[in-house]
Structure 1
């Protein structure tokens, strides 16, 4: 009996990511085919054997596999129980078609940090409303991949000196403060500040000890707390503070505050009443 494949695919609202695919196949054999995107693949279980440019390769669980656009490849399971994989299909210009030849020569990347970052990005992409975090993680992933594909000093501009980095971090914080409810994409911030997206993330994190997406989420939770103290309903609070829905608000609110917004709202008392035992 042929096992039924387990597959989930979606297109996130993150610039540069054309598709996300999570799949478990036991006996499916991919024929020779090509994509117009970069295929960034990690295998969670099993092993995939594939041919790329007439050379045999293997996608293993401890490697990152990068297949370039427009180059035909195939694929089949090696073990009887098949393979479980997670794939990011990235727009061709995210890494640049000029690097196709280097990727053909070396599609397997032995880089534990890169693999961990890709796993983290998949985790973020599975949660709606975390677009800035996903963009930030993708920028760092692409920067590291470009380092594998060539000379980092030429592909990615060097980090700015400390005084410039500090100023860049503070300018990004000001931008985030100005766009709390509606949010700001990393690419928009990079364009406004004339900086590389990965440098923005790194400069901000080094200066403030917190990533840009964490800072923005904390600002939104702060605003949500104030609105809940005014007696606003949670769905209204979620909509007016930049969360995509009430569940998104609840998840982040509890992580930061320690209780959910519903619980928090039930503790609200009249203005000036003080905590229990202090009212006169």
Structure 2
């Protein structure tokens, strides 16, 4: 539906997410267990009574607090559905104890699962976005500044070439900075090296193609991986399942 890039229901008995980013707002609730995660190199926890909102392009990971794992539901919202000037507020406080918001998210998941009432789904999404916007706005001081310098330029370059990729030498020529300086500046700004950021963006792209029904061998090429084996390895490392199983579920 418009505004919702992807919906994910998952049970992870053992999988731990490595640090990665999304180009969408990630709205997360936990139905069983509890999750601990680092967002922008600060540790957070998410229990069943809470809602978590992770902003676009900010590195985060995820792991279970309990040995039996966790079960979660996720809405990935298009980046323009919430004010990008509020990303800093989401980084500062990504969890909310808000029973009404959690209930509305539960209702939207139910409607999307049934797939019969598009108008209801749109209405429920608008109420969720309004509530999230209210939480974020309460925490706004100075609006966050856009990434500047070579790190921001390199991220923009990687975002423009997710499938094709770019070598550090070429990036250095375009940005007019030494490749070593690029890697150091990017890692310091985003908490991960450029190659890991690009791999995460490619996994995100692969998810979109899989949800469109494309075969995994074609998805590997379209998303910038060398072959299907290369896609399988990184996809499972990030999401804990193979592309084929993800598409089937």
* TM interval, short-chain normalised: 0.5 to 0.7
Aligned-partner Cα distance in 2 for 1:111–1:69: 22
Larger radius of gyration: 1
**What is residue 129 of structure 1 aligned with on the other side?**
116
Match of 2:40 among 46, 53, 59: 53
Alignment of 1:48-127 (within 5 A): 48-127=35-114
Match of 1:44 among 31, 45, 67: 31
**What is residue 8 of structure 1 aligned with on the other side?**
none
Secondary structure, aligned partner of 2:132 = helix
**Consecutive unaligned residues in structure 2, runs of 5 or more:** 140-249
Alignment of 1:5-44 (within 5 A): 14-44=1-31
Aligned-partner Cα distance in 1 for 2:27–2:115: 21
Provide TM-score, normalisation by structure 1. 0.49
Secondary structure, aligned partner of 2:5 = strand
Deviation at 1:97, TM superposition (A): 1.4
**What is residue 248 of structure 1 aligned with on the other side?**
none
Aligned-partner Cα distance in 2 for 1:32–1:128: 32
Aligned-partner Cα distance in 2 for 1:151–1:37: 21
Aligned-partner Cα distance in 2 for 1:31–1:96: 27
Deviation at 1:151, TM superposition (A): 5.0
Aligned-partner Cα distance in 2 for 1:59–1:66: 11
Deviations 1:121-151 (A, max 9, x none): 0000001221110000000010011000115
Deviation at 1:53, TM superposition (A): 1.0
Deviation at 1:90, TM superposition (A): 0.2
Secondary structure, aligned partner of 1:126 = helix
Quickly say closer, same or farther: Cα 1:55–1:151, change in 2 above 3 A.
closer
Provide TM-score, normalisation by structure 2. 0.55
Secondary structure, aligned partner of 1:102 = helix
**Consecutive unaligned residues in structure 1, runs of 5 or more:** 1-13, 153-280
